[in-house]
A and B are shown apart, each in its own frame.
Chain A
Amino acid sequence: MRFGLIMSEVGSGLRRNFSMVVSVVLVTFISLTFVGAAILLQFQIGQMKGYWYDKAQVAVYMCTSLSTEGQCNLVEATADQKAAVKAQLESPALAPLVKNVSFQTHKQVYAQYKQQFGDTTGSDFVTPSFLPETFWVNLKDPSQADAVVESIGSLAGVEEVKDQRAYLDPIFSALNAASFTAIGIAALMLVAAVLLIATTIRLSAFSRRRELGIMRLVGASNRFIQTPFVLEGVISALVGSVLASGVIVLLVKFFVQGYLGSQAQDTPFIGLGDAFIVVPILLVVGALLAAASARVAISRYLKV
């Protein structure tokens, strides 16, 4: 009985303020789409980090007779120096961090180089002695590469120790910047949504001020008076959240998996499972924000 009465009040409120309700729906829709996109970007960053960091190695480049970098002095690294590096990698300090080590001679490096860059201009001038012999170190935990860099970098005959993760950092910082931009836009839009909901509820209350006056006079409880207005806000925000959730799911399905997935097949992309984690977040955020702002708006209106 009371539930039916409250719902009919909600229905008439939504109908009476139709244009305001539509604007609330649109603003929450857009703001929550940005929120969802920001969360998905973070997921994507996490996924790519996990994938690439596992593959990233630490490269120890030995001196060539042409190099003056690092510890080199135009002298090819000697067998003793190479042995010292290998011993250091197998020392008790580093051994626990290292998964495995492989070594490439000049010839092997040159073969790989030819395979990758053979058809570029200038590659003909490169001879095996240009290219440094290399220890490839796979780490158990890629984030501990600094320890290897520090302890090997200063050994004699080492040109450079390079953590390959450094090549990935610009990609991740670009993705991070994109996700922070999305969060910033989302925050601004959410502020607009909250204010719009508050205004809508106040308008709705104003258009029903006669009923409100009588309700207060005859002693309808505050909760009974407020609930229809709060529900009005929550329902319109939920419609926006559902639309945003739909867009997020479609975005992942058709853009990320459909388009990006076919463009870059060796890159791991987020899946629908991630999208379905975002959906409930959007629904809850939308409903809570609407409930809070509607509640504040209506209780200020009802204050004795």
Chain B
Amino acid sequence: MIRFDQVTKLYRGNARPALNSVTLEILRGEFVFLVGASGSGKSSFLRLVLKEEVPSKGQIHVLGQNLGQLTSRKVPYFRRNLGVVFQDFRLLPQKNVFDNVAFSLQVIGKSKGFIQEAVPDVLKMVGLAGKTNRLPHELSGGEQQRVAIARAIVNKPAILLADEPTGNLDPATSAGIMALLERISQSGTTVLMATHDAGIVDQMQRRVIELVGGQVVRDERQGGYQTQAVPVQAFGTKPTTTAPTVVTP
């Protein structure tokens, strides 16, 4: 589904790579947490998957396509298979809930009939059925994030990328969002979530990929925010040079 081969990402004017020779594979339907300190390369990873950035070295395959060979004309069509959610929601403030979700379908040329059917469905799924006419500023943070998630999944993407989706939310609201993401994952969507939220990661017990200074230091199935077990190497991964973080209970 997502495969990184020796991917290195260097930003201009910065000698230290944001990602350093990262090799990993994420399979269909997996729920993956991407953890690590700020600046460890989580966001670069997500941006590379979206082809918002191109790697300095190495190859990235997403949904069977080699992103290095994807022409800029085809990038938009590729992105229609991905949904993205951000910490800051990124809703359009002058559009109501329905229009915010409908907008993402309008601009990729979906028919009015399709939009009239798909948008209420997805709003019902994220639990906003009664609030279709509200403007974003009339909603709570959790509700705004639900709108953003609805927008991301309304086109039934194969992959959902979430960049700290609970970063601005209180724990109770975060739990609601996580329950929603889990439901989405159960319907077969691959979910890749970058987060700082130790509580959520520990509670969910899903695959955890930890980045330190642009390198994968841990790739653990059913892991916590910090490791409690010997690191499990994923498909094709070279043994990591950095010692895994070990927590003393």
- Using a CB–CB cutoff of 8 Å, the interface residues on chain A facing chain B are 1-2, 5, 210-211, 213-222, 224-225, 304
Contacts and interface: CB of A to CB of B under 8 A. Distances in A.
Give 9 nearest A-B pairs by CB, closest first.
A219-B79, A219-B80, A220-B107, A218-B104, A219-B76, A221-B76, A215-B107, A217-B84, A2-B109
Contacts of A225: 107
B111 interface: yes
B179 interface: no
Nearest to B111: A1
Given A304-B51, A304-B52, A304-B72, A214 B104 contact: yes
A219 B72 contact: no
Interface residues of B, number: 26
B112 interface: yes
24 contacts: A1-B112, A2-B106, A2-B109, A210-B90, A210-B93, A213-B90, A214-B90, A214-B92, A214-B103, A214-B104, A214-B107, A216-B79, A218-B80, A218-B108, A218-B155, A219-B78, A219-B80, A219-B108, A221-B76, A221-B77, A224-B107, A304-B51, A304-B72, A304-B75
Interface of B: 50-52, 72-73, 75-80, 82, 84, 90, 92-93, 103-104, 106-109, 111-112, 151, 155
B76 A222 contact: yes
Given A210-B90, A221-B76, 8 more contacts: A5-B107, A214-B107, A215-B107, A216-B76, A217-B79, A218-B155, A219-B77, A222-B73
Nearest to A5: B106
Nearest to A9: B107
A224 B104 CA distance: 12
Contacts of B50: 217
B79 A218 contact: yes
A2 B82 CA distance: 22
Contacts of B111: 1
A220 B51 CA distance: 14
A211 B90 CA distance: 9
Contacts of B151: 214, 218
A2 B76 CA distance: 17
B70 to A, nearest CB: 11
For B51, B76, B103, B155, the residue with the greatest tally of chain A CB atoms inside 10 Å of its CB is B76
For A2, A211, A218, the residue with the greatest tally of chain B CB atoms inside 10 Å of its CB is A218
B92 A211 contact: yes
A221 B74 CA distance: 8
Contacts of B107: 5, 214-215, 218, 220, 224-225
